[in-house]
Structure formats: structure tokens, C-alpha cells
Amino acid sequence: MIVMKNVYKKYPNGVVAANGINIEIDRGEFVYVVGPSGAGKSTFIKMMYREERPTSGEIIINGINLATLRNKRVPQLRRQIGVVFQDFKLLPKLNVYENVAFALEVIEAPPAEIRKKVNDVLALVGLTQKARMFPNELSGGEEQRVSIARSIVNVPKVVIADEPTGNLDPETSWDIMKIFEQINARGTTIVMATHNREIVNAIKHRVIAIEGGLITRDEYGGEYYEG
């Protein structure tokens, strides 16, 4: 599903964010990516949806080789991946329904399909009642649920989440994790960068620890610890 071979990434300012990463993630897995700030987690995540390009090495997602993928084909890649951000990245001028529908409009889905899929996914994240509200009328947890709804409305094979609970209180974070568990249970691969020790230690999944641009640990059912 996701393969990285000898991935090396050096930024123009000289920072090496990936120093030979090798990893394989299978279909339907749930993977936590942990590590201290500046360890290279975000770069690891961003390379998967081609916001960043590796300096060298190979990244294959769903059979698409990102190293040779032409810029023109990047939209095709992103339609197969759902991305959830720490800061939600919702469009402030669109309401909840429109924000979610946006991901389908972009791929020119028929209106009937958009209606059905958006309503289904809003029900899944528990926001049916708030479909007409705007982002500034929602709590942080609700905004993140909209963001998750948008990422999965297109039924992607992979959902990539960059610190999805980073801006949320503990209780809301558990709610968000429940939704991710549900999505994973439907067979969607989930790669989640996180700092949240309680979650990683309580809901056991594969843990990949990154430090200094290298994978220092890769354990199934691992715990969150640094060093």
C-alpha cells in the first residue's frame, strides 16, 4: 500500500528531514508516527501526498511512484488519499455541508452522488444536525470532525492525519480517535502523526518512531516513549 525506499530529504536550508527511510505499510493498517518536534514527522507525512518531494529515494502509494509522478498527475494521487490537518483547514466561507461537498465537487462528481455521500459521512462523524453551520460557529472538535468527513467522503484508500488531536482537549481527542477507529474498521489505511502519549498507549497500533530523519523504532502494538 505504502512503500518508502531509501528516502532522503534535504531542505534548501540544509536541514535533513529524512535520512534514508525504509518502510512498508499494508492495506488496512493503523500506524502512529511518533517523535519529538523537528524529528521529521511532518516531512514524512507531507511526502506521502506530494506536498514535499524527496531529494532521493522511492515512495510508492497505491502503486503510484511519487518520485516519477508528473505534476499534472498529482491531483489524481490526492484523490486517492484523505488528509486531515492539525489546524483543520476548513474554508471559513462555506458551511459544514459545503466544506465536505467541496472535495467531491473538485472531482466533478454528479450532484446526486454528492448529496448522498456528504449526508452519509456527516452522519458518521455525528454532524448531521450542524450541516448548515459555518466553521466559526463550531467547537474545535466539531471542526476536526468536518475535516475528517471531508477527507473520507471520497472513500480514499489511505487517510493521512498530521497531529489531528494537537489542538483539541483530551475528551474531544478520544471522540476523534473513535471516528478514526471506525474508518479503519472499514478497511481504510490510516497513518497518523501524533504527540498524544495517552492515545498511543491506550489504543494499540503499530508505532513508527522517527528521530533525526531516521526510523528508530517500528513496533506493532508499541508504546509511546522518547529516546
Partner 1 sequence: MKARTLGRHVRESFKSIRRNSWMTFASVSAVTVTLLLVGVFIVIMMNFNHLAKSIENDVEIKVVADPAADKVIIKELVEKVQSTDGVLEVVYSSRDAELDKMIKSFGDELSLYKQSNPLGDALYVKAKDPQQTAAIAKKIDTYDYTYDVVYGEEKVEKLFNVLNMSRNIGLVLILALLFTAMFLISNTIRITIVARRTEIEIMKLVGATNNFVRIPFVLEGMWLGIMGAIAPMLIISISYYKLFELLEPKLQGELFQLLNTAPFIYQLNGLILFMGISIGVWGSFMSVRKFLKV
Contact pick of 8, 102, 134, 174 for partner 1 (by CB under 8 A):
102
By CB under 8 A, which span of 83-91, 176-184, 188-196, 197-205 interacts with partner 1?
83-91
Per rule CB under 8 A, is residue 34 in the interface with partner 1?
no
Q: Which CB, 5 or 115, lies closer to partner 1?
A: 115
Q: Virtual CA dihedral for 213, 25, 80, 21, nearest 10 degrees?
A: 20
Among 79, 116, 178, 186, binds partner 1 (CB under 8 A): 79
# of chain residues touching partner 1 (CB under 8 A): 22
Q: Which of residues 150-209 bind partner 1 (CB under 8 A)?
A: 150, 154
Q: How far is the CB of 84 from partner 1 (least distance, A)?
A: 11
Among 26, 56, 111, 198, binds partner 1 (CB under 8 A): 111
Distance CA 139, CA 143 (A): 6
The answer to whether 78 contacts partner 1 (rule: CB under 8 A) is yes
Convert residues 133-152 into a mask of x (bound to partner 1 by CB under 8 A) and - (unbound).
Answer: -----------------x--
Residue 162 contacts residue 210 (beta carbons within 8 Å): no
**Cβ atoms within 10 Å of 26's Cβ, excluding its own:** 11
Question: Residues near 190 by Cβ (< 8 Å), separated by ≥ 6?
Answer: 29, 30, 31, 158, 159, 160, 161, 180, 183, 184
Q: Beta strands of the chain (E only): which ranges?
A: 2-10, 16-25, 30-34, 56-61, 64-65, 81-84, 158-162, 189-193, 206-211, 214-219
Residues in contact with partner 1 by CB under 8 A are: 49, 51, 75-79, 83, 89-91, 93, 102-103, 105-108, 110-111, 150, 154
